Structure 1
Amino acid sequence: MNVQVQGDMLLIQPDRRALGSEVARLLTTALALPEGFVRTLFHQQRVLLGAVPATPTDLVGKSKLRLTGGVVEPYGVDDWGAVPMAEVLHADDHLFVVNKPPGILIHPGGAEDRDTLAHRVAHWLYAQGLERKVRHVHRLDEGTSGCVLYAAHAYAARALDRALAERRIERTYLALVHGRLPQRQGRIELRIGRDRHVAGKYRVTRSGKPASTEYWVLGEHSQRGHTFSLLECRLQTGRTHQIRVHLNHLGCPIVGDTLYGGHRVLGWRNESSGIALHAARLALPHPYTGEQVTVRVDLPASWQGVLQWFARTMAEMAGAKRGDDEWPSIPRGTARGIES
């Protein structure tokens, strides 16, 4: 199925498999739009077959299908012209992936937040000549760096939200932690809920929501009687602070994460309030073509000092195949390594 953005509409050329399907069914299956959203589109006469408003039970033929509106929208943030542009790792008409630096928020929480990733994304959109609402699909904590997925319009936002809920978006992190994990690899399945005693903090609790994190130990280093481990972590669920809470519960807090028991170590630079957690890889099936989109980004400069401890491990990761994947290389201060 060919889906294109054309002005303030989505232009859909159905493939042979869609011919004879009801329009409403095509929108909820092939375009992965929620049923309530689709009903609204029909009610507002925003679904056209050719140039004629369609009904839900109309059959798809060779005429192009159009969804009007939902593409050109205000950015949703103001005063973005004074901040740097976002560093975009991958972009097409429907989605894009941004490299988040450590120490900035995904979106403003109040009027005082004037330099967030949302502001930087708005600046980048403007520079591309695009007026689109800034729509992040998932979040990273303020101190975490790496890949963040954005939807380029309202229709892609719904499809990507479904993909996230169905766990079809794979997010892989590198973490530097204090201590040694109980096993070389494992899965942490512990419920997470709010810490009632500390605002903004979470904890493992029986009354919390299910949370699952896979991890692999990539290397260990001992210095002055202390052990540090380099981990690959993969989210199976997306609870707030999930990796941070799970690793702290195992007695291995993330370096620099003072909220969850971590602390600064010699060689770790976190002037920008960063912690040693990096979203190194993002992979997902494209919502319309089904083709695999894989984006990788190198570690930020704050990792330079401590990564010499794991130089051999990182060199092996950069040069070795992990299935169809290659890991990001040792940081050089800028992001690179884009594949789609």
Structure 2
Amino acid sequence: MHLKSISKRTLTATKYDGGKLLVNGIERDVRHPLHPGDEVEIQFPPEKISMGLAVEHGELDLVYEDDALIVVNKPAGQSTIPSRDHPSGTIANFLAGKFTRERVPSTVHIVTRLDRNTSGLICIARNRHIHHLLGQQMIHSDFFRRYEAIVEGHIMKDAFSIEEPIGREDGSIIKRVVREDGQYARTDVLVSERFHIKGRALSRVNLNLHTGRTHQIRVHMEWAGHPLVGDDLYGGDVLFISRQALHCTALMFTHPLSGELKVFESKVPKDMRYLNQNK
């Protein structure tokens, strides 16, 4: 039996963790031969909230929600997932609370995540199968992510791409750098405005990600000589804003079940708008 688009991990869980494979309403195993006209139904096993993920109840800015996925608008200052320094109050903790209240038999599957001090749209799958399908879109560059940022200096080129590998900086568990032995990464940059604030040259840019490396935009813009305003880890000045001026403004992908093209957009928050208004 060939189960199209089902990951090996999901199929294994279906076999051994309480799921079922039904052919014409009768439970079968993966070796059962299929014939034209057969109806195959897969009942995925219930999932449990991941170990270490505290169930908490808090406010979520829900942009979209259905039986397959959720899109949330994350504010700056809130972590996407728990960490040693920020174990509670995260998007994942609050989603675990939401799933518990609604008796959703699933854990939280983060498809796209943002750094704690980056704001904007993130996508969450409701089960491991949807996570796999959306992950495949990302691998094949069919999952579109657009960001807006304000960076130091005036960028001379109107549009360009940065294709530089990214890896962990030696001696650091947090900082990343461009390095030859790093992972392939590509960021497309489009300059939308050049302006000054109190004599400081700044540029507003739109960025499209083709890969999703840790701190990718921050690393690539530092490498290009134009670190994000407010990003003191990568050379940005915190004079005008206390966090990196970076916001995920749009997500575009094909819905994994309906096949419908989904587009979600988010306006930049007040702190980034304030920068543009004080030119």
**Do 1:85 and 1:124's aligned partners in 2 also have CA atoms closer than 8 Å?**
no
- Sort the Cα spacing of 1:128 and 1:62 in 2 relative to 1 into closer, same or farther, 3 A: farther
Helix, strand or coil at the partner of 1:80: coil
Match status 1:308 vs 2:277? yes
**Do 1:175 and 1:232's aligned partners in 2 also have CA atoms closer than 8 Å?**
yes
| Alignment partner, residue 227 of structure 1 | 201
- Sort the Cα spacing of 1:132 and 1:40 in 2 relative to 1 into closer, same or farther, 3 A: closer
Distance (whole Å) between structure 1 residues aligned to residue 177 and residue 266 of structure 2 = 29
Distance (whole Å) between structure 2 residues aligned to residue 221 and residue 64 of structure 1 = 61
Paired amino acid for 1:292: L
Report the CA distance between 1:94 and its aligned residue: 0.7
- Sort the Cα spacing of 1:75 and 1:64 in 2 relative to 1 into closer, same or farther, 3 A: farther
Q: Map 1:96-245; keep pairs closer than 5 Å.
A: 96-110=70-84, 113-245=87-219
Helix, strand or coil at the partner of 2:229: coil
**Do 2:10 and 2:129's aligned partners in 1 also have CA atoms closer than 8 Å?**
no
Sequence identity percentage:
27
Give the alignment's Cα RMSD to 1 decimal: 2.3
1:78 to 46, 51, 54: 54
TM-score under structure 2 normalisation?
Answer: 0.90
Paired amino acid for 2:245: A
Match status 1:33 vs 2:33? no
Report the CA distance between 1:130 and its aligned residue: 2.8
Helix, strand or coil at the partner of 2:237: coil
Report the CA distance between 1:244 and its aligned residue: 0.3
| Alignment partner, residue 42 of structure 2 | 67
Helix, strand or coil at the partner of 2:89: coil
- Sort the Cα spacing of 1:124 and 1:39 in 2 relative to 1 into closer, same or farther, 3 A: closer
**Do 1:86 and 1:124's aligned partners in 2 also have CA atoms closer than 8 Å?**
no
Distance (whole Å) between structure 2 residues aligned to residue 134 and residue 177 of structure 1 = 33
- Sort the Cα spacing of 1:39 and 1:132 in 2 relative to 1 into closer, same or farther, 3 A: closer
Report the CA distance between 1:124 and its aligned residue: 3.1
| Alignment partner, residue 25 of structure 2 | 51
**Do 2:14 and 2:20's aligned partners in 1 also have CA atoms closer than 8 Å?**
yes
Distance (whole Å) between structure 2 residues aligned to residue 251 and residue 117 of structure 1 = 32
Report the CA distance between 1:158 and its aligned residue: 1.5
Paired amino acid for 1:41: T
Report the CA distance between 1:292 and its aligned residue: 0.3
TM-score under structure 1 normalisation?
Answer: 0.74
Helix, strand or coil at the partner of 2:236: coil
Distance (whole Å) between structure 1 residues aligned to residue 35 and residue 60 of structure 2 = 40
Report the CA distance between 1:43 and its aligned residue: 6.4
Distance (whole Å) between structure 1 residues aligned to residue 213 and residue 263 of structure 2 = 22
C-alpha offsets along residues 165-220 of structure 1, whole Å, 9 cap, x if unaligned?
12211000000101122311000011111110333101111111111000100001
Distance (whole Å) between structure 2 residues aligned to residue 66 and residue 204 of structure 1 = 47
**Do 1:146 and 1:280's aligned partners in 2 also have CA atoms closer than 8 Å?**
yes
Report the CA distance between 1:73 and its aligned residue: 3.3
Report the CA distance between 1:150 and its aligned residue: 0.6
Report the CA distance between 1:36 and its aligned residue: 5.3
Helix, strand or coil at the partner of 2:274: helix
| Alignment partner, residue 230 of structure 2 | 256
Pairs aligned (count): 276
Match status 1:290 vs 2:253? no
Task: Return structure 1 stretches of 4+ with deviation > 6 angstroms.
Answer: none
Instruction: Specify every segment of 5 or more residues in structure 2 that has no aligned partner in the other structure, as ranges.
Output: none
